[in-house]
């Protein structure tokens, strides 16, 4: 076998008189990246040879031997028993050469009616479909972790923020459900990417199909695809699926970066809103007191990688004439690594969220002395017929007065409030009860307790969670 491997020439050199220069080989080899597509490549080959046999292009007995050989090659790839040879360039040639060693000359039937161009296009589409499913499962796992924590903290109050300044009171449940909404949009995007990717390009050949009587629909159905591509030139040069998946991954990674940032902030002593479980934190090599939120920080860092992958994939085809060009080989690393990194990040954050201990007392304390309820005081005046801008100015003046006096806004008396507008009555002090404030915010999408409870129930049902009573 070793001797055979040393004599092997990559199939792309078959019509050339000279062997490839070692420097070209070093530049061209892609097996270090596309070996990850061995399963997709062999699935496509098995479907292809079954179709060739059904169409009478390949003898059925030979097709059976080829299929058995492909199953063995897959097992060897999975077990790490295939030794890579840079002379064979890519995963397709490694599979075909090993198949030849196993079944002999019959392996030469396999490539009838196809090219490496439509073969790699198929491999990538199969990968995209599987990657969408894997990312969706991990997204759902983080959603369930967030919903479970939200249920436990249905009544935990904390300030909502704008510009990282305390703004208005919300509940922790409402805050966590905001991330659940983001992740749901991520899942919907992946579903659309999956649908558009599940179209078979096999049969497009190098760029113009084949004269052999192949059945493209049979192969598509065998691979779980409901459609075939409609233009052979587009089929071998299209990388929209890779770009769309990279975009979906990058946007999801950005959402995780936002969650990671809050984990980092909230776990500081300055915020003190949550305590990380030791299993999801790290120590310092120098400072023994440190407990570092590495999962949150890595979520931010991975988002940068995802954005870089997206830019790479968008840039690759931008100047390419039809149809296939070797530039497209460079799509493998960002395409294959991006979804993997996203799933790793999602799974780690799910564990972090599941085990985190939120601090309701510290969150309630952060509401301060009524400043987060200033808008309620302005709306109190609006309910009495005062124009909003006038009400806004009155409450702003009251807040400035309280600040100068070094007092919380909620400590002002009704008489002091009337200095700033005569419409303030004794009941103005009711505006500074955060529980009452939330109870009056039952509008759709709002943080009112009944609304949040209904949202929790809706998400528990959507995610297949059974509420513990």
CATH code linked to domain 371-462: 1.10.40.30
User: Looking at the DSSP assignment, which residues form a beta bridge with residue 165?
Assistant: 162
CB neighbourhood size of 207 (10 A): 17
Whether the CB-CB separation of 34 and 95 falls below 8 Å is answered with no
Q: What would the pLDDT profile of 388-435 be if each residue is shown by its tens digit?
A: 999 999 999 999 999 999 999 999 999 999 999 999 999 999 999 999
Q: Which residue has the higher pLDDT, 212 or 6?
A: 212
DSSP string for 419-430: HH-TT--GGGGG
Please tell me the predicted confidence (pLDDT) of residue 139: 98
The pTM score is 0.93
Report the relative pairing of strands 357-358 and 274-275 from DSSP bridges: antiparallel
Instruction: State what percent of residues in the chain have pLDDT above 70.
Output: 96
**Where along the chain do its domains lie?**
2-112, 117-365, 371-462
Q: What would the pLDDT profile of 138-186 be if each residue is shown by its tens digit?
A: 999 999 999 999 999 999 999 999 999 999 999 999 999 999 999 999 9
* 436: pLDDT strictly greater than 60: yes
Please tell me the predicted confidence (pLDDT) of residue 15: 66
CATH code linked to domain 117-365: 1.20.200.10
DSSP string for 390-447: HHHHHHHHHHHHHHHHT--GGG--HHHHHHH-TT--GGGGGGG-HHHHHHT--STTS-
User: Looking at the DSSP assignment, which residues form a beta bridge with residue 170?
Assistant: 158
Whether the CB-CB separation of 109 and 48 falls below 8 Å is answered with no
Please tell me the predicted confidence (pLDDT) of residue 452: 98
What is the biggest distance separating any 2 CA atoms in the chain, rounded to whole angstroms? 99
For residue 114, the surrounding DSSP H or E stretch is: none
Report residue 35: phi and psi, to 5°. -60, -25
pLDDT band at 13 (very low <50, low <70, confident <90, very high): low
pLDDT band at 342 (very low <50, low <70, confident <90, very high): very high
Q: Give the Å distances, CA to CA, from 150 to 153, 174, 214, 345.
A: 5, 7, 55, 20
Please tell me the predicted confidence (pLDDT) of residue 151: 97
Q: What would the pLDDT profile of 37-81 be if each residue is shown by its tens digit?
A: 999 999 999 999 999 999 999 999 999 999 999 999 999 999 999
Second-level CATH architecture of 2-112: Orthogonal Bundle (1.10)
Catalytic residues: 163, 284
Please tell me the predicted confidence (pLDDT) of residue 14: 61
Mean pLDDT score of the chain: 94
Ramachandran assignment for 24, one of left (phi > 0), alpha (psi -120 to 50 degrees), beta (any other):
alpha
């Amino acid at each position: 076998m070793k001797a055979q491997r040393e004599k092997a020439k990559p199939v792309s050199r078959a019509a050339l008189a000279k062997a490839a220069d070692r420097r070209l080989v070093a530049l061209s080899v892609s097996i270090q990246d596309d070996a990850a597509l061995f399963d997709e490549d062999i699935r496509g080959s098995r479907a292809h040879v079954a179709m060739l046999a059904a169409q009478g292009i390949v003898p059925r007995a030979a097709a059976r031997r080829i299929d058995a050989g492909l199953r063995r090659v897959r097992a060897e790839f999975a077990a790490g028993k295939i030794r890579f040879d840079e002379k064979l360039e890519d995963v397709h040639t490694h599979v075909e050469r090993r198949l030849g060693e196993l079944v002999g000359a019959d392996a030469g039937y396999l490539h009838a009616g196809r090219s490496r161009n439509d073969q790699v296009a198929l491999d990538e589409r199969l990968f995209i479909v599987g990657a969408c499913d894997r990312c969706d499962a991990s997204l759902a796992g983080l959603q369930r972790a967030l919903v479970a924590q939200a249920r436990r903290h249905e009544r935990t109050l904390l300030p909502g923020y704008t510009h990282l300044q305390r703004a208005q009171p919300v509940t922790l449940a409402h805050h966590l459900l905001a991330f659940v909404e983001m992740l749901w949009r991520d899942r919907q995007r992946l579903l659309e990417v999956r649908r558009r990717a599940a179209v078979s390009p096999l049969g497009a050949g190098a760029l113009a199909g084949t004269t052999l009587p192949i059945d493209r629909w049979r192969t598509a159905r065998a691979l779980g695809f409901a459609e075939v591509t409609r233009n052979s030139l587009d089929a071998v040069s299209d990388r929209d699926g890779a770009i769309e998946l990279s975009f979906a991954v990058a946007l999801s990674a950005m959402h995780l970066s936002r969650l990671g940032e809050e984990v980092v902030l909230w776990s500081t002593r300055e915020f003190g809103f949550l305590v990380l479980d030791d299993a999801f934190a790290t120590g310092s090599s120098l400072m023994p007191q440190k407990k570092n939120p590495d999962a949150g920080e890595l979520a931010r860092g991975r988002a940068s990688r995802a954005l870089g992958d997206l830019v790479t994939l968008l840039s690759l085809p931008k100047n390419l004439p039809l149809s296939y060009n070797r530039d497209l080989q460079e799509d493998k690393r960002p395409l294959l690594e991006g979804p993997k990194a996203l799933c790793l990040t999602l799974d780690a954050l799910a564990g972090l969220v599941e085990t985190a201990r939120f601090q309701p007392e510290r969150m309630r304390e952060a509401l301060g002395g009524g400043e987060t309820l200033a808008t309620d005081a302005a709306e109190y005046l609006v309910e009495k017929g005062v124009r909003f801008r006038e009400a806004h100015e009155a409450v702003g003046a009251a807040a400035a007065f309280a600040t100068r006096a070094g007092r919380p806004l909620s400590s002002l008396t009704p008489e002091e409030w009337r200095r700033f507008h005569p419409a303030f009555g004794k009941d103005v002090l009711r505006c500074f009860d955060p529980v009452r404030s939330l109870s009056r915010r039952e509008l759709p999408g709002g943080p009112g307790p009944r609304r949040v409870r209904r949202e929790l129930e809706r998400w528990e049902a959507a995610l297949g969670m059974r509420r513990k009573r």
